Structure 1
Amino acid sequence: MMTRIETIESVETGDRAGARAIVIGAGLGGLAAAMRLGAKGYRVTVIDKLDVPGGRGSAIWQDGHRFDLGPTIVTVPQLYRELWQACGRDFDADVTLKPLDPFYEIRWPDGTKFVAQQDTEKLRAEVAKLAPGDLAGFDKFLVDSSKRYWFGFEDLGRRSMHKLWDLVKVLPTFALLRADKSVYAHAASRVKDEKLRMALSFHPLFIGGDPLHVTSMYILVAYLEKEFGVHYAMGGLAGMAQAMGRVIEDQGGTLLMNTQADEIVVRDGTVTGVRLESGLEMGADVVVSNADAGHTYTRLMRNHKKKRWTPAKLKKTRYSMSLFVWYFGTKGTRGDWKDVGHHTILNGPRYAGLLKDIFIKGKLCDDMSLYVHRPSVTDPSVAPEGDDTFYVLSPVPHLGHDNGVDWAVEEPKYKAKMLKVLEDQLLPGLTAKISTEVVFTPETFRDRYLSPLGAGFSIEPRILQSAWFRPHNVSEEAKGLYLVGAGTHPGAGVPGVISTAEVLGKLVPDAETVK
């Protein structure tokens, strides 16, 4: 766990010289931002309401099991190596990545399977088994994905998009790449088989986007996975978050856990610090909010008149769906279910219809598609010897729909439906094996992460909520205020939030020029 200081006041009254920075939120974006600021010479204090760092990437330890609560994979590992290098550190000395190949298995109710993997010929063989007539279209899809990766991720995703001119300059490329089409529409233009269309288009769900509406730029994930692989961080993302915290502390920074920010203090248009819920005001030259962008502007800046991110504008903002996540441990099952690997996706009988119910109608359905994470096949430390640790995730509507779900009533019912799907399609005999459990509903996301509407991934990455249209990394609402994390540019997903901190590092002046 993280080193703790004796009192909050010792941070505020310490005699160390230099420019001060406060980072609100110890999620992965906030931790990466703190590392970048520490490398630039700032005295950094990270504050977070949770008891451990990591935010959505944190963990809960219960009955000998470690439940990794959010992200489960590491892609584009060079991002993390570059982050550590900027701090004069070696990522691979602090974090052990284990390549996963195959990446995951997709299953349909009729028994059809598709195994996603890195080797191109093996992947094409999977396509040939599923839809032999779509091989040529699949090859074209991979080329399309590569083009969008190099433009959308390596170019736009690693620089600020806070100036309108930055958007205007890239509009011709957006048009050329048909960014106006959805991910699903692009997949459908290349392949005819509906199952393959799903396999090529579901990835936006991992960043909170509706594949039927999210810009086709996000097909870049197919290239990203194939080119750089899919990895698991031993110890989970929670372990990587703790490694990030150690780097911050080695830089002279501090992590204040169990500490909640109440307001970003602005005087004469410039941030001067952060007021905590305790009433203590901590001064700073730079404030970085890793809190949800909506929470930042509606709650933390509630007493400051906004120019752009007004309450009316935020009310019109479309948020991602939420999640129902069931974490559970099983007794004596390490040798059971031998055909169930690290990552499995169980499709329900519907795809487009289910997406419309979740994102548009706000309807909680009887049918569901599930993401099943079984890290114990890779990392024995997540469970007692011989046991297993699972988490099973189902996309569900956020809390903002008119026909809102009463989760106090629906939680046990929905979990029972989820259990039946798991027993029927993947884990026979599961009921008798469960030894411990934790359930997260959209209300948990609202309360634990202060996420507006209980959204799982902040603002949905539609085309008019991306790049310049998204909350900017450098805020126009107050001088010295910056934003990182899923709700700002370039967006959600672990590579996205790590990139928000990289963009931040290019915007914030070196500490020596501030004081």
Structure 2
Amino acid sequence: MLELTALAPPTLPALPPQDRRPHAVVIGSGFGGLAAAIRLGARGYRVTVLERLDAPGGRARTHRQDGFTFDAGPTIVTAPFLLEELWSLCGRRMAEDIDLRPLDPFYRIRFDDGATFTYSGDPAAMRAQVAAFNPADLPGYARFMALSAETCRIGFEQLGHVPFGHWTDMAKVAPGLMRLQAWRSVYRAAAAHFRDERLRTVFSFHPLLIGGNPFATSGIYALISHLEQRWGVHWAMGGTGSLVRGLVRLIEGQGGRLRCGAEVAEITLAGRRATGLRLADGETIPADIVVSNADAAWTYGKLLPGLPRRRWTDAKLARARYSMGLFVWYFGTRRRYDAVGHHTILLGPRYRGLLRDIFTGRQLPSDCSLYLHRPTATDPSMAPPGCDAFYVLSPVPHLGDGTDWAEQTEPYRRMIARRLHETLLPGFEAEIAASRVTTPRHFREDLLAVHGAGFGLEPVLTQSAWFRPHNRSEEVERLYLVGAGTHPGAGIPGVISSAKVLDSVVPHASALA
């Protein structure tokens, strides 16, 4: 007789426990959004990052074409300790994932007459460069660098990650800003120390790297000279895109999630409190907090429909001053140009007049000054063997000037090509193997930048610190802002510092659980 035994039911894999951590949703995956996601993950949140494009990075996304790699946006890495902090929050070392190389020199500034200033982190070499232009300016150089160091100590090290949520925050720092004469423009700060007009240009052009006019941007941004000298200028091997990929891996390692192709149409509200997001396809995503890395003017002007805004009204956004637009031509060549350095500032015949046309005249100039980036000077992996990758950027007016870029793109590109041919790259057009162009129209359509402005709000004194859109929204509870359009401003150090501010204004997840 057979003995029957009961069969045990098959063992099924256990369902993953539901993640009950409070949910933070981040709009946009630029450096500010990715840094915010990491900091929120470290503070106990379950994080979802939403990116409307098909790849992360925002302005720092990567273009790959015909074997060439082109970083779309930022190419200069300064204050790398801010990036290292993000890896530390995840229990890792940045050096395990990123090969960051210091550059020497930082860049070369070529004047229209061919004179070149080699800008480096070597104090003796810098003094020699100043003396070569005007020995009488050496004492002024020492005084300017002392001013830059003190300004950096106050404006960046002390205040860069401090929220300016109340006017009293501004009142506390006003004496220091007055002592530093922050109401002066960066150009005026330089002009007070240098007699040589070319040296005034060398030590005042930096605001252009963050969307500002050196003749109008607050002298507080004179801090950049010391910031570069103290922490150096670096290149991430594999391009800035390698930093983006590294940050995404950190987020995923925390249990966070990145969704590309997810366009946010609206921040949902209960009264004046953010409750989540509605996507363009109708999907709703509930959230305990919302962080916007989108353009600040876009966030207030487009993502809060129907909300009566008290500070950032449509009228105020219309009156605000926006940074310049950017015309960027990416091209690869079949041969190398080893005489060209990694970073070159190629100045045109005008400086003040050109910037007046761009920032206040609102007209497309017939001449240009250029930033030429040749990453293959340091990193051959950015191009096929024996080739060079280039990125040439020209400041132009934002779309408020009415330029029709559908008509002007090719004529303007040809003008830039002539300038490069006449100066650093004779005959280069015959060697081009890959080419693509970005205009302010692309910034408006792809990145939703108001007026196609490359850096959001212009960093003038009346749009800085407390006067800038706050990191904790003044309009909506549990809505926070990071990125170039909020405090402290544009540039990789600025946008990463904006995410660091969240540690001071966002409650720990345990307080919401």
TM-score relative to the length of structure 2: 0.96
Q: Does 1:106 align with 2:99?
A: no
- Find the aligned partners of 2:466 and 2:238 in 1 and give their Cα distance: 36
Paired AA for residue 71 in structure 2: D
Structure 2 counterpart of 1:434, from 432, 435, 441: 432
Structure 2 counterpart of 1:189, from 181, 188, 192: 192
DSSP 3-state at the match of 1:158: coil
Deviating 4+ runs (over 4 angstroms): none
User: Does the 8 Å CA contact 1:273/1:283 hold for their aligned counterparts?
Assistant: yes
DSSP 3-state at the match of 1:201: coil
The alpha carbon displacement at 1:76 in A equals: 0.6
The equivalent of 1:8 in structure 2 is none
The equivalent of 1:376 in structure 2 is 376
The alpha carbon displacement at 1:69 in A equals: 0.6
The alpha carbon displacement at 1:130 in A equals: 1.2
The equivalent of 1:89 in structure 2 is 92
DSSP 3-state at the match of 2:203: helix
Structure 2 counterpart of 1:240, from 223, 240, 243: 243
The equivalent of 1:221 in structure 2 is 224
The alpha carbon displacement at 1:25 in A equals: 0.2
User: Does the 8 Å CA contact 1:348/1:368 hold for their aligned counterparts?
Assistant: yes
Alignment of 1:390-401 (within 5 A): 390-401=390-401
The equivalent of 1:46 in structure 2 is 49
TM-score relative to the length of structure 1: 0.96
Per-residue CA distance 1:153-173 (angstroms, 9 max, x = gap):
011111111111100111111
User: Does the 8 Å CA contact 2:29/2:49 hold for their aligned counterparts?
Assistant: yes
Q: Does 1:420 align with 2:418?
A: yes
The equivalent of 1:407 in structure 2 is 405
User: Does the 8 Å CA contact 2:251/2:257 hold for their aligned counterparts?
Assistant: yes
- Find the aligned partners of 1:414 and 1:131 in 2 and give their Cα distance: 35
The equivalent of 1:457 in structure 2 is 455
DSSP 3-state at the match of 1:190: coil
DSSP 3-state at the match of 2:49: strand
The alpha carbon displacement at 1:330 in A equals: 0.5
Deviates more, 1:223-232 or 1:337-346: 337-346
Per-residue CA distance 1:417-449 (angstroms, 9 max, x = gap):
100000000001111001111100110111111
Per-residue CA distance 1:201-223 (angstroms, 9 max, x = gap):
00000100000000001010100
- Find the aligned partners of 2:197 and 2:17 in 1 and give their Cα distance: 62
- Find the aligned partners of 2:423 and 2:112 in 1 and give their Cα distance: 7
Per-residue CA distance 1:446-491 (angstroms, 9 max, x = gap):
1111000000000000000000000000002111100000000000
The alpha carbon displacement at 1:36 in A equals: 0.3
The alpha carbon displacement at 1:375 in A equals: 0.2
Paired AA for residue 245 in structure 2: Q
Q: Does 1:269 align with 2:267?
A: no
- Find the aligned partners of 2:339 and 2:353 in 1 and give their Cα distance: 29
User: Does the 8 Å CA contact 2:274/2:289 hold for their aligned counterparts?
Assistant: yes
Structure 2 counterpart of 1:488, from 472, 486, 489: 486
Q: Is the alpha carbon distance of 1:148 and 1:252 closer, same or farther for their aligned partners in structure 2, counting shifts above 3 Å? A: same
Q: Does 1:322 align with 2:320?
A: no
Alignment of 1:5-404 (within 5 A): 15-331=18-334, 333-334=335-336, 337-401=337-401, 404=402
Q: Is the alpha carbon distance of 1:14 and 1:281 closer, same or farther for their aligned partners in structure 2, counting shifts above 3 Å? A: farther
The alpha carbon displacement at 1:14 in A equals: 9.2
Paired AA for residue 129 in structure 2: E
Per-residue CA distance 1:245-279 (angstroms, 9 max, x = gap):
00101101000001110000111221110000010
CA-based RMSD: 1.1
- Find the aligned partners of 1:191 and 1:506 in 2 and give their Cα distance: 40
User: Does the 8 Å CA contact 1:73/1:233 hold for their aligned counterparts?
Assistant: no
Per-residue CA distance 1:35-62 (angstroms, 9 max, x = gap):
0000011110000111111111111111
User: Does the 8 Å CA contact 1:326/1:439 hold for their aligned counterparts?
Assistant: yes
User: Does the 8 Å CA contact 2:338/2:377 hold for their aligned counterparts?
Assistant: no
DSSP 3-state at the match of 1:393: strand
User: Does the 8 Å CA contact 1:33/1:505 hold for their aligned counterparts?
Assistant: no
DSSP 3-state at the match of 1:89: coil
The equivalent of 1:470 in structure 2 is 468
Q: Which one has a bigger Cα radius of gyration?
A: 2
Q: Which runs of 5+ in 2 are unaligned?
A: 1-15
- Find the aligned partners of 1:164 and 1:271 in 2 and give their Cα distance: 24
- Find the aligned partners of 1:443 and 1:246 in 2 and give their Cα distance: 31
- Find the aligned partners of 1:390 and 1:84 in 2 and give their Cα distance: 30
The equivalent of 1:3 in structure 2 is none
Paired AA for residue 342 in structure 2: H
Paired AA for residue 286 in structure 2: G
The equivalent of 1:9 in structure 2 is none
DSSP 3-state at the match of 1:34: helix
The equivalent of 1:7 in structure 2 is none
Paired AA for residue 347 in structure 2: N
User: Does the 8 Å CA contact 1:266/1:304 hold for their aligned counterparts?
Assistant: no
Per-residue CA distance 1:393-438 (angstroms, 9 max, x = gap):
000000113xx11111111111111000000000011110011111
- Find the aligned partners of 1:260 and 1:253 in 2 and give their Cα distance: 18
DSSP 3-state at the match of 1:307: coil
- Find the aligned partners of 1:14 and 1:182 in 2 and give their Cα distance: 56
User: Does the 8 Å CA contact 1:330/1:435 hold for their aligned counterparts?
Assistant: yes
Q: Is the alpha carbon distance of 1:178 and 1:450 closer, same or farther for their aligned partners in structure 2, counting shifts above 3 Å? A: same
- Find the aligned partners of 1:84 and 1:307 in 2 and give their Cα distance: 38
The alpha carbon displacement at 1:505 in A equals: 2.0
Alignment: residue pair count = 498
The equivalent of 1:6 in structure 2 is none
